[in-house]
């Protein structure tokens, strides 16, 4: 089992951060790399089991399934349901935690993959998706309200 994690500290309070990051189908609202997603089968996007699909040029490139959402803990956990990325048992958690400077945003994952693929996966998810999203949140919360 492999683990990756990225964090960011922003000056906004945890509730304000959670309002932005706490919607399962809303990643594209704040993440500059992600296309809008569609919640499949008319499911409630806040209910465990909901599947969001991201498409590029009309082709679904990844499906994620919501495993858990807890607004009181400001945490959502999801799994990759379908992807071209060679991982299995991928479970990711996005959460917002009180911090002396405001809020610490944590984006973590555990997954199975061949050891030789880990650097590529770390680059794709950790340095690409996670770090870019967290940088966008740093910028968003650095602006005056």
Query: What digits encode the pLDDT tens for the residues 45-85?
Result: 999 999 999 987 777 789 999 999 999 999 999 999 888 88
When mean pLDDT is compared across 6-10, 25-29, 94-98, 101-105, the lowest value belongs to: 25-29
Structure tokens at 132: 């870019």
**pLDDT at residue 139 tops 90:** yes
Q: What is the pLDDT of residues 70-128, one digit of tens each?
A: 999 999 999 998 888 889 999 999 999 999 999 999 999 999 999 999 999 999 999 99
Neighbour-count burial of 111, counting CB atoms closer than 10 A to its CB (0-12 exposed, 13-18 middle, 19+ buried): buried
Give the predicted TM-score (pTM) of the model.
0.92
Which residues are within 8 A (CB) of 58 and not within 5 positions of it... i.e. 6 or more apart?
A: none
For 33, half-sphere exposure in the C-beta direction (CA atoms, 13 angstrom radius) is 13
CB 6 within 8 A of CB 130: yes
What is the reported pLDDT for 145? 55
- Domain 2-33+68-142: CATH architecture, name and number where available: 2-Layer Sandwich (3.30)
Structure tokens at 15: 């509730």
As a whole number of angstroms, the distance between CA 145 and CA 103 comes to: 16
CB 7 within 8 A of CB 106: yes
As a whole number of angstroms, the distance between CA 50 and CA 26 comes to: 13
CB 93 within 8 A of CB 3: no
Q: How many CB atoms lie within 10 A of CB 45?
A: 18
């Amino acid at each position: 089992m492999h683990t990756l994690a990225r964090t960011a500290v922003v000056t906004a309070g945890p509730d304000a951060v959670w309002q932005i990051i706490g919607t399962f189908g809303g990643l594209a609202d704040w993440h500059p790399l992600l296309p809008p997603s569609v919640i499949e089968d008319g499911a409630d996007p806040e209910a465990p089991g909901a599947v969001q699909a991201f498409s590029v040029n009309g082709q679904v490139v990844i499906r994620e399934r919501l495993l858990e959402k807890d607004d009181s803990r400001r945490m959502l956990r999801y799994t990759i349901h379908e992807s071209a990325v060679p991982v299995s048992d991928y479970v990711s958690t996005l959460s917002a935690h009180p911090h002396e400077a405001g809020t610490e945003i944590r984006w973590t994952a555990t997954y199975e993959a061949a050891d030789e693929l880990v650097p590529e996966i770390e680059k794709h998810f950790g340095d690409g998706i996670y770090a870019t999203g967290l940088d966008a949140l740093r910028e968003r919360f650095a602006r005056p309200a």
